Amino acid sequence: MEIETMVLKNRNKVMEAYERDNEFIHNFFDYKNERSSYPERLAELRNRSFLRNELSSVIRSFMEPFGISKKASIHLEELTENGVVVIGGQQAGIMTGPLYSIHKAITVILLAEKKRRELGVPVIPVFWVAGEDHDLDEINHVYTETSNGTMKLKYPEKFILKLMASDAKYSSKEMTTFIENVFRQFGETEHTRALMEEVLTAADMEETFTGFFVRLINGLFHEQGLLFIDSAYKPLREIEKSHFAQFIVKSDELAKLVVEKEEQFSQLGFGKPIEAEKEAAHLFYVHETGRVLLSKEDGDFVNDSTGIRFTRDEMLHIANNKPWLLSNNVATRPIMQDLVFPVLAFVGGPGEIAYWALLKEAFQLFNIRMPIIAPRISMTLVSKRAKQAMESTSMTLEEVFAGKTPEVREQFVHSLQNERFENLILETEKQLKSKYEELEVVSSIAMRQLLEKNLKFHQKQLNYLRKKAEEELLIRHESELRKYSIIENELFPGGSLQERIYTPYLFMNQYGPDLVKDLLRQPIKMDGTHQIIYL
């Protein structure tokens, strides 16, 4: 592997402000993302109390079915004592979901290792799986590469209810067929069979999207001792119940603070990431029809579509006695995470950092400060064939990420065109039109209509010749033109960064099963630059 760094142009406005604008950071966050912030945050955590033994026990019980490595077991022991965590999370996508899920886990691990060395205290990497999310359309597909772009392969089974990913059970037969089709689209390599068997085994051992996701990622990061917890795991809810009670009691004030902060955020030109409402309860209720969002109405917690209505006392009873029936939303999840875990730093992507920016006062409402926010590593993997294609076409990554590949391809096609042939076609069209105009002068009105129709026929035939000449040209230079497709489809598919589209298994199929292990050995920078990894 070789590694380069580059600064992407037209970056996310929020990320630009977070990395460069001190006033923005002061207004929306409690800490700067810099080395001097970590001892201060560590001191803050030492003055707070956590249910460490219970939390460690819950994580252990969750992870045991997936396998706990020796290093993970050590991390669990450290968590019961004075360990702090670097935490990040993601929805439970099929075959790990897009590459940025892996990039996030890599960031969590590398940052935890770095801060362990610098601070001299146990810093533990934790991956928070958002298993309570119910938008299965966001996670039920995989993209593969084709000569014409990308192909979206969607798991076919329909889920009518708004089931959480941790409750949604897939058909083993359907999932097996789906996975085999995905690898078929990847193309056969020396690594395909072993990788496919590994994924099929994981799918067969599990029955929910969350279980499938955790089993695969736990395997990829087994040696690093990455800890996992599912946000929908029932035993975790027991630890969270007193915090749910706080959310219920302070729901009106919480909603007000988030709305006001989002308005401030919007006025600065950053938009409204969550479209917060003053009536929001910022909690979900797990109903028989699925996970439904609650709002406030006359002091009650309601959901109109299901007819649910709970008084504050009824909600507190649920929180204390059946906390697994409650679920966090985008505003309360970060706060809950910080109340449960001793979070030194949170690793997030651009979208997450945008909505975390709305929560500074919300954290303070619960007498805590927001942790240090560390942007996840952003990477593009460049295969040997993509590197060769760029060298052959003299294209740069700056051009690729600027979306110029189609333009450069068209310039290449234009350079190949037979100008003499095209000029003769144009000359023939011009002569035909001139002669037909002469014929019209000496013709009747009825004849002129026939002449006009006849001219259009000849023009159509000339266009047909022009098209056939172009097709013959493209066929003759197919191998050269294919290089532009490789560049665009692999490195900037559909005008997006690769990490937002493809599963890591597409690249493991080319590189081999040790891709993630080898990435962890690289001197990857966590400074906001984009990392280019040549495989």
Distance CA 375, CA 372 (A): 10
CA distances from 37 to 31, 32, 82, 202, 264 (A): 6, 6, 19, 40, 25
Give the pLDDT of residue 504.
97
Give the pLDDT of residue 385.
94
Q: Residue 81: how many CB atoms within 10 A of its CB? A: 11
If residue 347 lies in a helix (H) or strand (E), which one and from where to where? strand 343-348
- HEC assignment per residue over 142-207: EEEEECCEEEEEECCCCCCCECCCCCCECCHHHHHHHHHHHHHHHCCCCCHHHHHHHHHHHHHHCC
Q: Which two tokens stand for residue 114?
A: 């770095």
| C-beta of residue 277 within 8 angstroms of C-beta of residue 256 | no
Among residues 221, 202, 231, 197, the alpha carbon closest in space to that of 65 is found at 202
Give the pLDDT of residue 534.
96
Q: Is 178 exposed, middle or buried (0-12, 13-18, 19+ CB in 10 A)?
A: buried
| C-beta of residue 169 within 8 angstroms of C-beta of residue 161 | no
pTM over 0.85: yes
**535 residues of the chain, pLDDT tens digit each:** 999 999 988 778 999 999 899 999 999 999 999 999 999 999 999 999 999 999 999 999 999 999 999 999 999 999 999 999 999 999 999 999 999 999 999 999 999 999 999 999 999 999 999 999 888 889 999 999 987 889 999 999 988 778 889 999 999 999 999 999 999 999 999 999 999 999 999 999 999 999 999 999 999 999 999 999 999 999 999 999 999 999 999 999 999 999 999 999 999 999 999 999 999 999 999 988 889 999 999 999 999 999 999 999 999 999 999 999 999 999 999 999 999 999 999 999 999 999 999 999 999 999 999 999 999 999 999 999 999 999 999 999 999 999 999 999 888 877 777 667 666 778 787 888 887 787 877 787 778 888 788 878 878 887 877 777 667 766 666 788 889 999 999 999 999 999 999 999 999 999 999 999 999 999 999 998 999 999 9
| C-beta of residue 86 within 8 angstroms of C-beta of residue 45 | no
Which residues 6+ apart lie within 8 Å of 264 measured at CB?
A: 27
Among residues 366, 430, 345, 470, the alpha carbon closest in space to that of 45 is found at 345
Among residues 282, 257, 507, the alpha carbon closest in space to that of 379 is found at 507
Residue with tokens 């939390």: 55
Distance CA 74, CA 340 (A): 20
Residue with tokens 């937002």: 500
Q: Please tell me the CATH code under which domain 1-279+326-382+499-535 is placed.
A: 3.40.50.620
What angle (nearest 5°) sits at the alpha carbon of residue 412, between those of residues 411 and 414? 65
Q: Residue 474: how many CB atoms within 10 A of its CB? A: 13
Q: Is 136 helix (H, G, I), strand (E, B) or coil?
A: helix
